[in-house]
Structure 1
Amino acid sequence: MRRRASVTLLAALAIGPALADPVALSTFRDLPRPEPALQVAYGEAPSQGVDVFLPAGPGPHPVAVLIHGGCWSAATAGREQMRHLGPELTRRGIAVWSIGYRRANEAGGGYPGTYRDIGAALDRLAADAPQHRLDLARVVLVGHSAGGHLALWAASRDSLPPESPLRAAPRVAPRAVISLGGVGDLGSFARLVPVLCGPGVLEGLIPADRLPEVSPAALTPAAGSIVMVSGVLDRLVPPWVAHDYARALRGRSGVALRLVTVPDAGHFDLVTPSTPAWEEVRGLIEAALEAR
């Protein structure tokens, strides 16, 4: 890890000094978060819900499915941490389907509950799309941090072995997955989870012998394209994490993967409006939904 960290540092030095400090966690926490247009429950737990933001107009609207981060831990905020992005996208004509889920250290969460929640929330999108005038032919999955892992996994679950309890036929086929400071190779990142997230999370997330079912690097994504976005100054999920995932997928036919490294950006710049990093992310979302 020291060698990889030094490579990241040298890359940052090569482009010159940072023009601004990365967005701090406290700044991200203090962002105003409007209430969604509606909330949809897909299970009995409070975390098993979806925040829905709808744009004006008759539709059908393209959809950005947001999956929040927070270390897979119930000690952090749930789907409400992404509510500030709702108006950012709806004013551009994009509907938002922001998924909450039971975390790895939450009752019913971990394996298989957390993963089944993501699948159930996407299936609910398919079921509710006509009611809300949502265009299932134009869907992009956008996950931040731990949510990046779950977005990549959701787009790959069709390649799970038939005997896996997580195997299900997806009802939503995303055009793209955009992982924002997310983890694609859970095997190489696992040693850092206890350090970053605390005790109990890793054990719930990856029980014994289940890594090939829950690490996107061991699966093959079905999305049209994968974009791994990293902040050069991200200390939580540095750019080498995205490169590990890209290396794992190298040579698999049909997988179009792009690495985007944003200068001067930390972990939370990628989901903070008004930052250059968010402007780039928003452009990636719009481009994915406009592509034919």
Structure 2
Amino acid sequence: MMIYAALVMATVLAIRPASADPVELATFRDLPRPEPTLQIAYGEDPAQGVDVFLPDGPGPHPVAVLLHGGCWSANTAGREQMRHLGPELTRRGIAVWSIGYRRANEAGGGYPGTYQDVGAALDRLAEEASSYRLDLSRVVLAGHSAGGHLALWAASRGSVPAASPLHGPLRVVPRAVISLGGVGDLGTFARFVPVLCGPGIVERLAPTDKLVEISPAALTPSAGLIVMVSGVLDRLVPPWVAHDYARTLKSKPVVAPKLINVPDAGHFDLVTPSAPAWQQVRALVEEALELR
């Protein structure tokens, strides 16, 4: 009943007049994106890299791990699409570890490569933490869209079946995962991927017989807090997607995800600094890192 009531409320909010138009893709694409403090390669492919933004001060710095979206497709920008958020967080004392990965429709991407890349980039964070004064006890994962799926998966990969090529120890255990218009249940969402992302993506990213390894809904998250943030006006990943994921976790020994529906926000408001929705997201990051 609580989920039904939340969905009804989301519908009511969606049909009332919006106070501002949602941020469009073209506006998001045109945002200025500064160069990171440094870039770290964890593999030979250009996509296998991390953008690092470091704040001033001696540290150790809390860390926001960012995972970019883009339909898991190389037809969109890679990790550079999140560079505009680097200064937004470093000026608040938060280091940024923004992960790139091979997408489903490029060589080596899909299953298992995309997931292995995310795992390797997080393992590299554990290896480099002392060099860059990063505090591994204060880490939050924040992923947008397709990156929301990968952030949820990364926090759950400790429960991947032992026989899987994706199985391995969690070297970085985040305090929280913040999914921004992300997908937690690939089983229910897979049928929409061809429409949104084009042909071939879902077949390479999420083979039906591998869902127990790569759908966060089939796994158990290790983070103490999971926050599913949805724009009420999001036409790409509507709020019901987050509710579907939350429902699957009811049978697991974890704290129920926190569901946040942001009025008047679309898919890209959640990662656009000028949008009110981003101010709410940034506050969630700061709270998770105990900076508020």
State if a TM-score over 0.5 links the two structures.
yes
Identify the residue that residue 43 of structure 2 maps to in structure 1: 43
Query: Residue 87 of structure 1 aligns to which amino acid in structure 2?
Result: P
Counterparts of 1:156-235 in structure 2, within 5 Å, are 156-235=156-235
Paired residues for 1:1-292 under 5 Å = 10-13=11-14, 16-290=16-290
Residue deviations 1:14-40, cap 9 Å, x none? 6x3110000000000000000000000
Which AA in structure 2 matches 1:232? V
Q: RMSD of the alignment, in Å?
A: 1.6
SS in 2 for 1:250: helix
Once residues 33 and 20 of structure 2 are traced to their aligned partners in structure 1, the CA distance between those partners, rounded to angstroms, is 24
Task: Report deviation, 1:149.
Answer: 0.1
Q: Match of 1:124, SS?
A: helix
Q: Are 2:10 and 2:239, in contact at CA under 8 Å, matched by a contact in 1?
A: no
Q: Deviation per CA, 1:48-96, whole angstroms, max 9, x where unpaired? A: 0000000000000000000000000000000000000000000000000
**1:95-136: CA deviation from partner (whole Å, max 9, x where unpaired):** 000000000111000000000000000000000000000000
Unaligned runs of 5+ in 2: 1-6
Q: Deviation at 1:12?
A: 2.1
Distance 2:231 2:38 in 1: 32
Q: 2-side partners of 1:119 and 1:43: how far apart?
A: 12
Aligned structure 1 segments of 4 or more residues deviating by more than 4 angstroms: 6-9
Report what 2:4 is aligned to.
Answer: none
Task: Indicate how the Cα distance of structure 1 residues 17 and 37 shifts in structure 2: closer, same or farther if over 3 A, else same.
Answer: same
Task: State the shift of 1:251 in Å.
Answer: 3.3
**1:13/1:102 CA distance change after superposition, 3 Å:** closer
The percent of aligned pairs where both chains have the same amino acid is 77
- The AA in structure 2 aligned to 1:175 is R
Structure 1: runs of 5+ lacking an equivalent: 1-5
C-alpha contact 1:8 1:232 (8 A) present in aligned 2: no
Secondary structure at 2:289 match in 1 = helix
C-alpha separation in 1, matches of 2:254 and 2:207: 30
Contact 2:74 2:105 in 1 (8 A): yes
Q: Which residue of 2 aligns with 1:3?
A: none
Counterpart contact for 1:224–1:256, Cα < 8 Å? no
CA pair 160-13 structure 1, distance change in 2 beyond 3 A: closer
Q: 1:191 to 1:119 in 2, by over 3 A?
A: same
Question: In structure 2, do the counterparts of structure 1 residues 166 and 235 end up closer, same or farther at CA, with 3 Å as the change threshold?
Answer: same
